A and B are shown apart, each in its own frame.
Chain A
């Protein structure tokens, strides 16, 4: 029996062992994150079939759940942990060649800590522990945004830090209010007692928690930090921030709303917020000249779509939303990695400087196009089944409000297609007039390998969506059936 706590312990301890490894040899440092997340990936894939039948519970320090900190490895948690480990290991292959220079070991420490925090958030069953892991994630991402130490990076990191810390403070106030009311920090215990008190006294902490996590998840009025932070970070970190960090914020929010509070009355509000976030993100992305900024705004839009799907509150709606989480994580990570390498070659983030890339860098351009097609939702890529499920479920709701929201979503998809095709057109059909003979692409093996594994995953999962729908269905029903969650933790 594999203990799910290893998913957190191994990367965390390796992160702090890196300075010792650095004494032995500087050359092995870059392999440590890869080894850690390959290990995590193996464990979580091994755990996945077991948690589909029954959640695996672990207590820490031998205290039974209402008192001690517990790890709840349910289908949803392990699904996210698998995704984090998968993307984490692939991006660390990319970083073999991408991150160079003296500060390498700091990068690898912070990278391991970021993903440890993310894994901790999705696995923990204790609300204060969730806050602590969330802070590990946030603090390491603030410093990674400023990793290059250039003007834009520092400015964005300051913005991100101010807004992110405000969000964490709100979360802490919300946790304090909950503890004052219930006298416990265990999520299942709070969830079991939530309906026994006056609804106003749980509404206030819920608002604090949703606002706090909403900042990290970049829900519409709280998303000002995201385009700056995602566009100024190193590209490998942008991929992680876009693919993992905001999804983890969204996970925390959904967990709070569905499991902790069981608040079905707030879902309509979140539904409208999601559609607005989608529309505003895509509209802003359309007008960008900077490729990374465009991708960052597109992430805001995708978060909105995921929030919309999950807030429908039906089994197939949530399944569609989680499918969209998987497809956005893979697609956006691929786009950021490919764009990062093209920026590295062309020396500019401006979209117009990408002219002729299709001939200069055929492999990377091809991968970028696959990512873009998948995100827009063209079959046979992974983006298609997710969007299809969401629209189908929204159509079956048969309400006037949904009709308007579907129109908004389809409109946003058209805008999304427009700006992605604009970039692809520049890459393939606008040749550089100066150089008729394209120089040959000499791509480092690590970068091409990680990009092509992403492409393969996107195509395979797009052709066979059935590979993951079992796990997604189980995760969705874990969110919907909060009584089962409570019973499994507190028998």
Chain B
């Protein structure tokens, strides 16, 4: 029980990552695959945030007197997440616009039916 409550954020983040991975591998519809990516990405963001998280921590600014550095949340993972979110949005936008074009060409989003290119 102790293990669970100590690592609950990591468990949550990796559950999201695996849910996303499952959707990615199993679903046939391209839109669902893109949603799977979104979930996978969210899991990664949570994981990155968790690395630098301290319970009841504050922002790393010396605003109050008597505030020590060990009560501050690590700011680096938050900067990483911000960058990763921007990249994720770019990929998502590109994926959705490609899905629109794909539907225009094939009339379906079922990835199992789209197989003109093969070995």
Q: Which residues of A contact B (CB under 8 A)?
A: 128, 132, 135, 139, 142-143, 146, 149, 151-152, 154-159, 161-162, 165-166, 168-169, 172-173, 175-176, 179-180, 183, 185, 227-228, 231-232, 284
Contact A155 B102 (CB under 8 A): yes
Size bin of chain B's contact surface = 20 to 34
Known: A169-B40, A176-B48. A128 touches B101 (CB 8 A): no
Chain B residues whose CB sits within 8 angstroms of the CB of A159 once the complex forms: 117
Could you list which residues of chain B lie within 8 angstroms of chain A, going by C-beta atoms? 17, 24, 30, 33, 37, 40-41, 44, 47-48, 51, 74, 76-77, 80, 83-84, 87, 90-91, 94-95, 98-99, 101-102, 105-106, 114, 116-117, 119
The answer to whether A176 touches B44, judged by C-beta atoms less than 8 angstroms apart, is yes
Given A135-B87, A227-B119: A166 in contact with B77 (beta carbons within 8 A): no
Would you call B77 and A139 a contact (CB within 8 A)?
Answer: no
Nearest to A157 among chain B residues (CB) is: B98
Name the B residues within 8 Å of A228 (CB-CB).
Answer: 117
Query: A139 to B80, alpha carbons, bound, how many Å?
Result: 18
Give the residue among A135, A142, A231 with the most B Cβ atoms within 10 A. Answer: A135
Q: List residues of chain B with CB within 8 A of the CB of A284.
A: 119
Q: A158-B102, A162-B24, A183-B74 are in contact. List 14 more A-B contacts (CB 8 A).
A: A128-B83, A139-B91, A146-B98, A151-B116, A154-B105, A155-B102, A156-B117, A158-B30, A165-B91, A165-B95, A176-B51, A179-B51, A179-B80, A228-B117
**A143 → chain B closest CB, angstroms:** 6
Shortest CB–CB separation between residue A481 and chain B, in angstroms?
29
Interface of A is mostly: helix
Please give the distance in Å from B81's CB to the nearest CB on chain A.
10
User: Is A172 touching B91 in the complex (CB atoms < 8 A)?
Assistant: no
B30–A152 CB distance below 8 A? no
Least CB distance, B92 to chain A, in whole angstroms: 9
CB pair B114 A179 closer than 8 Å: no
- A128, A154, A172, A175: the one contacting B98 at CB < 8 Å is A154
Q: Which residues of B contact A139 (CB under 8 A)?
A: 87, 90-91, 94
The 6 closest A-B pairs by CB, nearest first: A228-B117, A180-B51, A151-B105, A154-B101, A135-B87, A176-B48
Bound: A232/B37 CA distance, A: 24
Nearest CB on A from B27, distance (A): 11
Select the residue from A152, A169, A227, A232 with max chain B CB neighbours within 10 A: A169
Tell me which of B47, B87, B95 contacts A161 (CB under 8 A): B95
State the Cβ distance, B91 to closest chain A Cβ, in Å.
5
Alpha-carbon separation in the docked complex, A228 to B116 (Å): 10
Asked if B117 and A158 sit within 8 Å, CB to CB, the answer is no
A-B contacts, 26 of them at CB < 8 A, read A139-B87, A139-B90, A139-B91, A142-B98, A149-B101, A154-B101, A155-B106, A155-B116, A158-B30, A158-B98, A158-B114, A162-B24, A165-B91, A169-B37, A169-B40, A172-B44, A172-B48, A172-B84, A175-B80, A176-B44, A176-B47, A176-B48, A176-B80, A179-B51, A179-B76, A183-B74
